[in-house]
Chains A and B, each alone.
Chain A
Amino acid sequence: MEELPRITVSQREQFLVENDVFGIYGYFDASDISTQKYMMEIQRDKQLDYLMKGLRQLGPQFSSLDSNRPWLCYWILQSIALLGESVDDELENNAIDFIGRCQGSDGGYGGGPGQLPHLATTYAAVNALVTLGGDKALSSINREKMSCFLRRMKDTSGGFRMHDMGEMDVRACYTAISVASILNIMDDELTRSLGDYILSCQTYEGGIGGEPGSEAHGGYTYCGLATMFLINEVDRLNLDSLMNWAVHRQGVEMGFQGRTNKLVDGCYTFWQAAPCVLLQRFYSAHDLVHHGSSHISQGTDEDHEDHVHDEDYPEDSDDDDSDEDSDEGSVNGHGVHHTSTYINRRIQPVFDSLGLQRYVLLCSKIPDGGFRDKPRKPRDFYHTCYCLSGLSVAQHAWSKDEDTPPLTRDILGSYSNLLEPVHLLHNVVMDRYNEAMEYFFKAP
C-alpha cells in the first residue's frame, strides 16, 4: 500500500483557505451578469449602516476592546471618509468630545477616559481627529503636552516605548513619528538613532520585523518603511530586498499574506500594498534624478507594458487590450481628457492590483456591511478599515502622484467603487491630511 505524502500544518491550512477562496471565485465566474455586478459592488449603504451603528453603540462583546476605543473611532471614521462620506455635526461634536476625554493631562491619548496614554491609541486619536477635520477637532490636540509625551516614550536605543515602561517595537516608532509629523512637532531628539533601530529590524528576507531578530511581517514592514520615509532615511534600508519580499506576499488567492508561508488576510491589503506603491514611486523618483536618462525611455518599459488581467469583467467596458499610448486624447467616464503628460504620470503597479481588489470585494467584503480577514471569519471594524484603505491604495496604484485620478480600468467593479485616496504614510484621507497640514504648519 503506497504511503500518502504527509502534508504539513502550513500546507493543510493553505489548502483549506484556497478551497474557500476558489469556491467563491468559481461561483462568481459561473454567475450571471447581474449577480456578478452585485457581488462586485462595495454596497456603500450597507457599509455606512454598519459603520454608523458601530459609532453610536457597541455590544458587550466589545469589552475586550475597552482599551482601544480611539482605534474604534479611527477605524470607523476612516472607513466613512474613504467612502467619501462624513458624519453629522452632532456625531462629530460627540466624537471630538469623547476623544478629548481620552487625552492625558501629561499629553498623549489613552485607550479610554482615564487610561494611561499609549502611543497606539495616540496615533488612532490624532488620525481620527484629522479625519473629522475642522478647527474644533484639530485645536483639541494639546501639541505641547504631546511633545513631552513623545519625548518620554523615546528610548536611548533610538526606538520608542508604547507607554510608560511599556513594550518597544517598530509599531511604537511609527505611531510616534506619524503623530509628530502631522502635528509639526518633529525634532532631532525624536529622530536620533531611530533609523538605526529600524534598520536593525530589517531581516534577511527583506521585510521588517517588530524587534531586531523578529520575523519579517507586513504590519511592521509598513510601520518601519513609513517611519524611514518620514525621517528621510529610506535609502538606508535594503530597498531591493524589501520590494522583493513585499511583492512575494501576494499569493494565488490574490490577496496578501502577512508573512512567508502564512495565510492570506484582507488587512494586509493595506499593510503590504502601501509599501509596494511607496517603494515603486521612490524608485521612480530616484531613477529620474539618479540616471538622468530621458523620461520617455524610462516610461517605455514602465508605462507601456500592459499586463492585463485575464478575467473578463462585464463592468469594464474599456478595451482591455489597448496600449496605454492610445489613451492619448481619449475620454474616460468622467470627461477627463488624457494627454501625453497624463500618461507619464502613470505607472504599472508591481503587484497585481486588480487581483487584489478582487480578493477584497469577493472574499473580504460582507454584503451586509463590513469586511473580514478571509472567508469564514467574522467582520470587524479593524478589517473594515484596512480592507477599504488597502482597496483605495490598489485603486490609486497606477498614479505617480495624488493629482492623477484613476482610470475606469483601474477600478474593479463600477467606477462608483472608487474610494478617496489616502496619504500612504499616515493612512488618512488625502483631503483631510492637506487640511491638517494647513492647520499645523501655518505660520504663527
Chain B
Amino acid sequence: MDTDETLPLSQRSEWSDVVPLTQDDGPNPVVPIAYKDEFRETMDYFRAIYSSDERSPRALRLTEETLRLNSGNYTVWHFRRLVLEALNHDLYQELEFIESIAEDNSKNYQLWHHRRWVAEKLGPDVAGRELEFTRRVLSLDAKHYHAWSHRQWALRALGGWEDELDYCHELLEADVFNNSAWNQRYYVITRSPSSGGVEAMRESEVSYTIKAILTNPANESSWLYLKALYKDNKELWISDPSVSSVCLNVLSRTDCFHGFALSTLLDLLCEGLSPTNEHIDSVRALATEEPDTNLANLVCTILGRVDPIRANYWAWRKSKITVAAM
C-alpha cells in the first residue's frame, strides 16, 4: 500500500477507492477562502470519509493530515475521537500527537478539549504528565489561559495537588505580577482536598500576600488576593489588624502609588470599619481638598485625583455612599 504522504492524496493508491467530496459552498459564496491545492484536496478526502463514516486506520491518519493543515477544525477533532474509540487506539500515543500539534499552535480551544478528553480516559495515571505538559506550556507563556484551565481540570479530575502551592510560589518569585498564578493560589487553597480551606490557610496566606504588597504596592493582583482571603468573613476583614495596617503602611509612604491602599480602605469603610484616628490622619495627610467629615467621601475624592483614569468611577462610588447613608 502506498502511504507516501508527500504525494497528493489523489495519487496515493491507498486512497484510490475513495471519491473526494467537494465543499458545498454554493455558486457565489461570501468569505470564500483561496485554499491551496493541498488543503482543498485533503479536505475533499476528509469530507468523503466523514460522510461515509469510515472509522479506519487510514481515516485516523487522514484526520492527522487534516489537523496539521487546520488545527481549528473541530469537526475533524470530533471525528478523530470517534475513530480513536472505534479502533481502541493507544491514547498515550494520542497525548504525543497532541503535543506535536501544540508546538505550532497552542492557542486553540479544540486541541485542549481533545487533550482533556484523552486524559480523562487515561485517568489518574497521567496526572503527573498533564501537570508536566501544562508546566511546559506555561514556561513559554506563564499566563496561557487554556493551559491554566487544563491544569485546574487535571488537578480536580486526576489529582497531584501536593506541590501546586509551591509551583505558584515559583511563578510568583519569577513574576509577582502574574495574576494567573495568584488566581491559581486561590484555586488551591479553596479546592485542594488536603488544604483546610481558606480558614486554615488564611494566616499564612495573608502573611505571604502582605509581604508581596509591601514589596510592590502598585501590584493590583496582590491586593485583590488579600481581599479574597476574607471573602466569606467580612467581620474578620474589617477587624483583622494586618489588613488595616498594610493600608496604613502604604499610605504613609511617599514613594509609591496609593490607589489600591485607598480603595481597600474605602471598601473596609463601606463594610463598616470604624476608622481610628490613625486612619483619619493618614487619609487627611493625603488630602489637598477640603476634608470631608465623612472619611469614605474624602477617600473617594482623593482617589479621583490619584487614580484619574477612574475619576468618574470614584465619583460614582461617592454618590452611592451618599445614598446608602441617607
B47/A280 in contact, CB under 8 A: no
B39/A214 in contact, CB under 8 A: no
A350/B26 in contact, CB under 8 A: no
B326/A165 in contact, CB under 8 A: no
Interface centre among B174, B176, B309 (most CB of A within 10 A): B309
- B286, CB-defined interface residue at 8 Å: no
Knowing A67-B72, A210-B149, the reply to whether A252 touches B31 (Cβ < 8 A) is: no
B78/A98 in contact, CB under 8 A: no
Knowing A64-B70, A214-B145, A351-B312, the reply to whether A204 touches B81 (Cβ < 8 A) is: no
> B71 to chain A: which residues have CB within 8 Å?
64
B323/A291 in contact, CB under 8 A: yes
- Docked CA distance A259–B25 (Å): 39
Q: In the complex, how many angstroms separate the beta carbon of B101 from the nearest chain A beta carbon?
A: 13
B29/A215 in contact, CB under 8 A: no
A56/B78 in contact, CB under 8 A: no
Knowing A55-B31, A72-B31, A301-B319, the reply to whether A262 touches B179 (Cβ < 8 A) is: yes
- A29, CB-defined interface residue at 8 Å: no
B75/A115 in contact, CB under 8 A: yes
- B24, CB-defined interface residue at 8 Å: yes
- A363, CB-defined interface residue at 8 Å: no
Cβ contact of A307, chosen from B34, B143, B312, B323, cutoff 8 A: B312
- Docked CA distance A55–B35 (Å): 15
Cβ contact of A8, chosen from B145, B177, B186, B310, cutoff 8 A: B177
Q: In the complex, how many angstroms separate the beta carbon of A182 from the nearest chain B beta carbon?
A: 21
A260/B109 in contact, CB under 8 A: no
Cβ contact of B309, chosen from A112, A254, A348, cutoff 8 A: A254
Task: List which B67-94 residues lie within 8 A (CB) of chain A.
Answer: 69-75, 78, 81
Cβ contact of B221, chosen from A11, A59, A260, A280, cutoff 8 A: A260
Cβ contact of B78, chosen from A112, A166, A250, A251, cutoff 8 A: A166
Q: Assign chain B's interface to a size class.
A: 35 or more
A164/B186 in contact, CB under 8 A: no
> B183 to chain A: which residues have CB within 8 Å?
203, 205, 214-216
- A213, CB-defined interface residue at 8 Å: yes
Q: Could you tell me the dominant secondary structure of chain A's interface residues?
A: loop
> A57 to chain B: which residues have CB within 8 Å?
32, 34
A348/B224 in contact, CB under 8 A: no
> A260 to chain B: which residues have CB within 8 Å?
179, 220-221, 224
B29/A307 in contact, CB under 8 A: no
A252/B72 in contact, CB under 8 A: no
A58/B152 in contact, CB under 8 A: no
> A351 to chain B: which residues have CB within 8 Å?
310, 312-313
A214/B78 in contact, CB under 8 A: no
Q: Could you tell me the dominant secondary structure of chain B's interface residues?
A: helix
A302/B316 in contact, CB under 8 A: yes
> A69 to chain B: which residues have CB within 8 Å?
31, 33
User: Which of chain B's residues has its CB closest to A276's CB?
Assistant: B313
B 14-40 to A, binary, CB cutoff 8 A, 1 in contact else 0? 000000010111101111111110010
Knowing A60-B39, A65-B72, A98-B25, the reply to whether A348 touches B78 (Cβ < 8 A) is: no
B 286-326 to A, binary, CB cutoff 8 A, 1 in contact else 0? 00000000000000000010000111110110111011001
| Interface-side segment among A89-97, A133-141, A364-372 | A89-97
> A155 to chain B: which residues have CB within 8 Å?
none
B318/A211 in contact, CB under 8 A: no
- Docked CA distance A66–B31 (Å): 10
Q: Besides A58-B34, A101-B24, A261-B179, 18 other CB < 8 A contacts?
A: A9-B175, A9-B178, A57-B34, A60-B35, A60-B36, A65-B72, A67-B72, A69-B33, A113-B23, A163-B78, A165-B78, A165-B117, A214-B145, A259-B180, A261-B221, A262-B143, A307-B304, A350-B313
Residues of A within 8 A of B (CB): 8-11, 54-60, 62-69, 72-73, 76, 90-91, 94-95, 97-98, 101, 110-116, 118, 162-167, 203-205, 210-211, 213-217, 244, 247-248, 250-252, 254, 259-262, 280, 283, 287, 291, 293, 298, 301-302, 305, 307, 348-352, 355
Residues of B within 8 A of A (CB): 21, 23-26, 28-36, 39, 43, 47, 50-51, 69-75, 78, 81, 109, 112-113, 116-117, 142-143, 145, 148-149, 152-153, 156, 174-180, 183, 186-187, 191, 219-221, 224-225, 227-228, 231, 263, 304, 309-313, 315-316, 318-320, 322-323, 326
**Contacts A/B (CB < 8 Å), 11 sampled:** A9-B174, A115-B75, A162-B109, A165-B78, A167-B109, A205-B183, A210-B145, A247-B310, A260-B220, A260-B221, A301-B318
